[in-house]
Structure 1
């Protein structure tokens, strides 16, 4: 039998590619709140 990982993230962590500011949010962050730069989701996939 296969076991399903019950993990469900409450918040994702986003990092600015320009100033490296990090912020946690349950919704996608459009731009960096510090400098207005591009944000990427840095959450690690669980396999």
Structure 2
């Protein structure tokens, strides 16, 4: 049940960030930010 809760929380967080993303950001950039492995190059415009 704990794994299911974490999965649901991560999914909701991803879609919340994806719905508010900038037009120049890709879905891969959003996934990196959600996972916490993004570097400044992933969060700044190209």
- Same-fold call, TM > 0.5? no
Higher helix fraction: Structure 1 or Structure 2?
Answer: 2
Q: Find the structure with the greater CA-based Rg.
A: 1
Higher strand fraction: Structure 1 or Structure 2?
Answer: 1
Using the size of structure 1 for normalisation, the TM-score is: 0.26
Using the size of structure 2 for normalisation, the TM-score is: 0.26
